[in-house]
Structure 1
Amino acid sequence: MDMLLENKNVVVYGAGGAVGGAVARGFAREGARVFLTGRNAERVGTVAKEISAGGGAVETAVVDALDEESVAGHLDAVVADVGRIDVSFNAIGISPRGLQGIPFTDLPVENFMRPITTYAQAHFVIAKSAARHMIPQKSGVILMHTPEPARVSLPLVGGMSVGWAAMEALNRALSAEWAQHGVRSVCLRTTGMVDTPTIDVVYGLHADAMGISTDQVTAAMTAMTHRKRPTALAELVSVATFLASDQAAAMTGTVANLTGGIIVD
């Protein structure tokens, strides 16, 4: 059976995190050569060792996703080495501490703005840098990931929801400019994923703010879905792998809705 991403070169940003690492492993299982980046060399290296142990082709680099020179320099080196970039997946995240679980009336302006500026800048820098190589080769896929507050209104999320909504707007704009040149842009939207450590922190902040337990927050969020369970990390990986492949060639400028019914279209 042919692998979905055989002979594809994939760059993953934030590869040391739960989402970036899981998607990188999924890409490698489907035959991609993966280039893992992040600011923490040790965490990225751990993911690389797992991929290498499974027979995957992997390389690592320390890259600051907010720094255009850092991102562009790394991509130039990758293209010089392997000839092309087929997929770019940005999974960077920022700590929710000081940003979530705080009423707007008590939230400092700088804390409100931080996720908006960080996510918008990182995703623009990465997409712009990738497109410089993808447009001339007339093919490529740019992927990003948002949780459900990008679309549905939830309290105490601070500027995070605005930042995630900006990512989805950017996704549409990238497609409007670049799909005609063969470069697709697709966002994957999930619920909070309970099998990632970040969501434990997020739900803990919300629980403290509301005076209830973390389990109660988790139960309330789960009850909002049609199937009464949140998105699993493995489910995100499966869809990301499909979207990165040529089988999803008609999908661009859109959001793959993996919220299990929290959001219905």
Structure 2
Amino acid sequence: MIKIYDCLLEFRGVFVLLLGRHAITPFYLSTIILLLSTFLIYIQYIIQDGASSDQTVKIAESFVQAFAEKEIPFRIISQKDQGIYDAMNKARQEAQGEWILYMNAGDFFANGKILSLVSKNECLEMADIVYGDVIRRDKDMYLYIKARTLETMRLGMPFCHQSSFTRRKLLNLFPFSLQYRICSDYRFYLQMYHEGKKFVYLPMAIAIYDINGISSDARANRKERLKILEKMPVRDEEAIQRVKGWLEQDTRKKFMHEHFWRFIPKKIRQKRRSYLRKKAGWKTKEEFFG
């Protein structure tokens, strides 16, 4: 598979690591362009490519001059890796700032002032991890998701990594495990929660992220979460049983799809999906942003 992992930004001591698993796409390019047009003070930007054989590196190199004009240090690194979490660990090794935030190619900050607002917040002094809300994007539809309480960490991520800032020293001490393909970030934050690290919530949307990534497979996500919970030093039997129950529900849903829903006319299924999404609060770009 052609892979690209991008990058590293420093913004007043905050590094943002942008990650992707495919060749450069319009959304990937828009992420780079947005960064060029948004940030006005010192940042560092690094693209770490997974030794791709297409035009990825060449296209990335076309931005060298644009970064130079902004006086932004810009590097392109191309090397093989063992998956997304290996790439995240490698990219983190390039960081020198105090805070790190991971984003995927195609994701955006909720607005151009986010890093400035966070970097000026007094809560940074006492926090180990700072997190906020997120806006989900699926093509041209958007949904605001408020971070859940930390008590729900025992069942799953109460926030997404795109909306959380973590002290670099913690990520250096506890690199992402390569045992997991989807939920290694959950394992890291769950471990930090059990060790009593200080989490601070900011009531604002930090990022807009595309839900069609590697973690969009809910069943695969829950299977990995179950493995993580079963291996944690602090075993939470109630949480384990809850996740097992959700997996059983997934099995029933899969059965319904294979033996019922797929025989329903496509137009009816689309209308039902549209109705359920509107009921859940999804809005078009025009409706969401006004």
Alignment TM-score > 0.5, same fold: no
TM-score norm. by structure 2 comes to 0.34
Compare the two structures and name the one with the higher strand fraction.
Answer: 2
TM-score, normalising length from structure 1? 0.36
